[in-house]
A and B are shown apart, each in its own frame.
Chain A
């Protein structure tokens, strides 16, 4: 483990601890939902970091197709893996929240449908990479899919505006100030920062492992 990774890991750990304290110790109980609302401090940062991860896949894929830099391909690969994990966390916490608040674990509204499509597309992206043995070809195909798949990111985010959904519109990523008590916003921000550090830590580690794998098998 490099010293930079170790520093990122510690920062992420600190951030997550602070996030827990904010979510359970500082943020008040939400007036209508009660304690169930605290799932939001996992649910929302998870999807925002997934957007970030898949955005990185997009940019890295473009850079790879441009100059065929192996580093960009490794970054896209690692970022997609981490993004899939965070999308999974988002879907799981959403279901846990949905049962007591909506009255159902799952429903096929536009938001839930588009986010599950996103999950499957990037799982497919990882499958595609694993299925092609030739390294250069795998990277090229994956880069194309990594660019096309990014179309689903705005689809997920704007689904709640474009269609009638059961899911409520976004509270944070929207024009104007969030219709939310400032303490909630602060707790969300701390958790978002912690999740971003965690994303950086996982991705840096995976990029290094992918490089070392290539060196071993070269």
Chain B
């Protein structure tokens, strides 16, 4: 009985310690900004880079899945290249976090694109205040 309690407690304590350790080391700085990356970029090293997708910088080639854009934070910019399809919310003038490596050729090679969402929620424009008709319409694949 006592041994069961000690073993169980130890397992929980170890799991918690590991989670907190992993959480703090990896998540305390979940991503670096373009300025921080520029200040100390090491080629080939893995980073998570976060910033705004600059207006007019996004180029997307659906045939080859080549995605090029620039992330900025107001002080520095970093060109990003990716091969694949971005998430729905990804777009110019919005926040994004990308995972990948800094290339010696002066761009960021992203292996994963994450769209960062703001805490703002807006109703669609126009008087048709949605409701179930709007829902059915969008579920059928019209609009959106």
Interface residues of A (CB under 8 A from B): 24-37, 40, 100-104, 107-110, 113-114, 116-117, 120-121, 124, 127-128, 131-133, 163-166, 168-171, 179-181, 183-184
Contacts and interface: CB of A to CB of B under 8 A. Distances in A.
B87 A102 contact: yes
B19 A120 contact: yes
B124 A28 contact: yes
A38 B113 CA distance: 23
Nearest to A99: B87
B110 to A, nearest CB: 11
A164 B15 CA distance: 24
B27 A113 contact: yes
A110 B30 contact: yes
Interface string B101-133: 000000000001111111111111100011110
A24 B130 CA distance: 9
A159 to B, nearest CB: 8
**Residue among B5, B8, B27, B135 having the largest count of chain A Cβ atoms under 10 Å:** B27
B30 A165 contact: yes
Contacts of A180: 120-122
B35 to A, nearest CB: 13
A29 B130 contact: yes
A83 B34 CA distance: 40
B144 interface: yes
B contact patch SS: mixed
Contact of B118 (A24, A113, A128, A168): A168
Nearest to B116: A166
Given A28-B129, A103-B86, A117-B16, A108 B23 contact: yes
Contacts of A181: 121-123
A35 B138 CA distance: 8
Contacts of A184: 121, 123
Given A34-B138, A166-B30, 7 more contacts: A33-B89, A33-B121, A102-B89, A108-B22, A113-B23, A163-B30, A183-B123
B88 interface: yes
B134 interface: yes
Sort chain B's interface into a size bin.
35 or more
Contacts of A109: 27, 30
Please provide the 4 A-B residue pairs with the shortest distance between their CB atoms, ordered closest to farther. A103-B87, A28-B130, A113-B23, A181-B123
Contact of A32 (B1, B8, B27, B122): B122
**Residue among A26, A101, A116, A179 having the largest count of chain B Cβ atoms under 10 Å:** A101
B31 interface: yes
Given A103-B86, A164-B29, A181-B122, A33 B117 contact: yes
Contact of B5 (A35, A131, A163): A131
A115 B133 CA distance: 36
B8 to A, nearest CB: 6
B135 A102 contact: no
Contact of B113 (A34, A103, A128, A165): A103
A26 B130 CA distance: 7
A127 B130 contact: no
Nearest to A159: B27
